[in-house]
Structure 1
Amino acid sequence: MPSIPLQRTFAVSSLVYAATLWGLVWYPYRLLDQAGVGGIASSLFSYATPLLLLGWLHGRALHAARGHWLWLSALGLAAGWTNLAYVLAVLEGEVVRVLLLFYLSPLWTVLFARFLLHEKLNRAGWAVMALAAGGALAMLWQSGDWPLPRNYAEWLGLSAGVMFAASNVISRHLDGVTEGAKAVSIWAGVAVLTVIGLTLKPAELDFMAGAETATWLLLLGVGLAIGSMTYAVQYGLARVPANQAIVIFLFELVVAAVAAYFLSDERMGVQEWVGAAMIITASLFSGHMEDDRKGELRV
């Protein structure tokens, strides 16, 4: 059985892994959009893939967690909206402003975690949170603009950030429910919301008539990546306080900026590098955000 420090290392590493994938996933979604697969349709197939391939493995865990069905449903819907709204926002809006609004999520996490989990930040925790938020602003702030939604895509980005914080806190609240059961709830939540979305925009399924093999393989690959990412997030959230986790997730901004440098025409300036350094520093010190508590990690 791993020691508690080793469990903590595994948990934090799993969250960094998930943040890294999220910082890269915009690119295959953009490729799918260019291939004619809209955001709702690509979300459906990429989340239905792990649901169908892996969901059956957690049948017993879901049955054992039946007493938590209300919270699992809330987790699925919150995470479902997070993922669907995020994909639509980055495809339809200005990525910089969407990310800025999405990464107001640490503020919502502090509120949700305070009331639902009774997690309190210490002085170092507030400093780390301020450093992380400052890094996000340094990377994404545009002179003369305020981080307020001004169109449909930006409202999606803001709402995705709120639901991202809510889903992380709800997952942490579901102590005793296995990571597999939570993962299935998330995949199912996205699937339900995307099916509803496709009833409103059925034309997004037209790509199926002439989709090439490469498109289907890309959808499969994204689905498998989503599956591994969901497992990693749920493993980490079960063992790391929600306020610490949200700071670690900010590492996604750094990955996304570096990926944009190599995969598109976007380039990082001094402002972006300063923000990235602030976020990395905050992530390194995120383990000191709360006073030590017994039972923080499950053995």
Structure 2
Amino acid sequence: MRAQQIFARGHLGLARTACLLGGAVWGAYWIPLRVLDASGFSGVLATGVIHIIPALILLPLMLIRRSSFRRGGIALQSTGAAMALGILLYSTAFLYTDVVRAVLLYYLTPIWGTLFARLWLAEKISFDRIFGIVLGMAGMLIIFNIDQGLPAPKNPGDWMALGSGVIWALAATLTRRFPSQHAVDLVSTWIIWVAGLAILAMFFLPGTASIPTAEAYRSVLPWLVPLSLFVVLPVYLAITWGLPQLNPGTSGLLFMTEISVGTLTAAWLTSEIIGPREITGIILISLAGLSELLLPALRNAMRWTKAS
């Protein structure tokens, strides 16, 4: 099957791969954020800067495809806005709560996605998906060394993280509810909404309105422009293409590779050490993302063994 046909018709295996790799890239998202923070771009501003450049690149494309955007209507704008609000709330949550609490509360996403798909799309909740969610949650708790389970929300950052997970699960459900939306239109809408909401948030959230110097902008543009062109845009396009083909709970599990890659890159680039606990958690999260492939294959292998 040619690439153009795959893009138009979809491909379940590649859709899973797109979300798996999307989560992996998000696992390294902290690296440019840390560099931007050191250059004077912190919090919401850093998120906005990363998305404003792709937004400017996509504006001419939106003008060319304006008739397609008009046809997308409320469904397209609602989906893009939900995706944008989810990622912006998640990024901002780290300003107001601990990193561990933000990640744990956000990554209840597979549970919300599974429930939305059941209630709104009437998709069955399979044993394989439940097993994957259990594996993923166990792996996450092991990595973060949480002995007493998931934390209850206690501050604005906690509620932002929890809300961002619910909103992202809703966005994933919207992409599946309206699968005719073109991936190019959706990724453009998503990125434009992120940039716009980030600019608004700078004026309404405390401690986010400091403006960096012109020299700061000049220092980050040489690497930020290639990052936007060759990482942000392709990854976001892959995600928006893959999401409508997958159950929202399944895509939530696949995105949990963010935790594994974040753990690995932190150990590689900082003084953090990976031990048996982290390795165990990474393995469990990896198995969680593949549970809906591995468990049916295992059952088929067992049937074949019994039959022979």
Above 0.5 in TM-score?
yes
The residue identity in structure 2 corresponding to 1:153 is: G
**2:286 is matched with which residue?**
280
Instruction: Quote the offset at 1:9 in angstroms.
Output: 2.7
Q: Which residue of 2 aligns with 1:189?
A: 193
Q: Which residue of 1 aligns with 2:28?
A: 24
- Cross-structure match for 2:106: 102
Q: Does 1:178 align with 2:182?
A: yes
Quick check: 2:15–2:241 contact (8 Å CA) kept in 1? yes
In the other structure, the counterpart of 2:228 is: 223
* Structure 2 spans left out of the alignment, 5+ residues: 297-308
Match of 1:78 in 2: 82
RMSD between aligned residues: 2.6
Match of 1:49 in 2: 53
Structure-1 separation of matches of 2:208 and 2:291: 47
Stretch of structure 1 that moved more, 161-170 or 251-260: 161-170
Greater shift in the superposed pair: 67-76 or 142-151: 142-151
| Alpha-carbon contact 1:26-1:87 (below 8 Å) kept | no
Paired amino acid for 2:198: T
> Partners in 2 of 1:227 and 1:176 — Cα distance?
20
Give secondary structure in 2 for the equivalent of 1:217.
helix
Tell me the CA shift for residue 261 of structure 1. Answer: 0.5
Higher-Rg member (1/2): 2
- 1:151 paired to 2:155: yes
Match of 1:234 in 2: 240
Amino acid at match of 2:83: A
- For structure 1, list consecutive stretches of 5 or more residues without a partner in the other structure: 291-299
| Counterparts of 1:203 and 1:96, CA distance in 2 | 22
Alpha-carbon spacing, 1:69–1:288, altered in 2? closer, same or farther (3 Å): farther
The verdict on how the C-alpha distance between 1:16 and 1:53 changes in structure 2, with shifts beyond 3 A counting, is same
SS at match of 2:53: helix
Provide the residue aligned with 1:296 in structure 2.
none
Instruction: Read off the aligned partner of 2:119 and give its amino acid letter.
Output: F
Identity %: 26
Alignment partners' CA distance in 2, 1:200 and 1:249: 30
Please name the residue that 2:261 is paired with: 255
Give runs of aligned pairs for residues 123-162 of structure 1, distance below 5 A.
123-144=127-148, 146-162=150-166
1:270 CA drift (Å): 2.4
Instruction: Measure the CA separation in 2 of the matches of 1:129 and 1:200.
Output: 36
* Worse-superposed segment, 184-193 or 250-259: 184-193
Farther off after superposition, 24-33 or 191-200: 191-200
CA contact (8 A) 1:100 1:141 kept: no
Give the TM-score, by structure 2 length: 0.84
In the aligned structure 1, how far is the partner of 2:143 from the partner of 2:79?
Answer: 30
AA matched with 2:249: N
**Residues 83-92 or 137-146, more deviating:** 137-146
Rounded to whole Å, the distance in 2 between the matches of 1:164 and 1:156 is 12
Q: Which residue of 1 aligns with 2:173?
A: 169
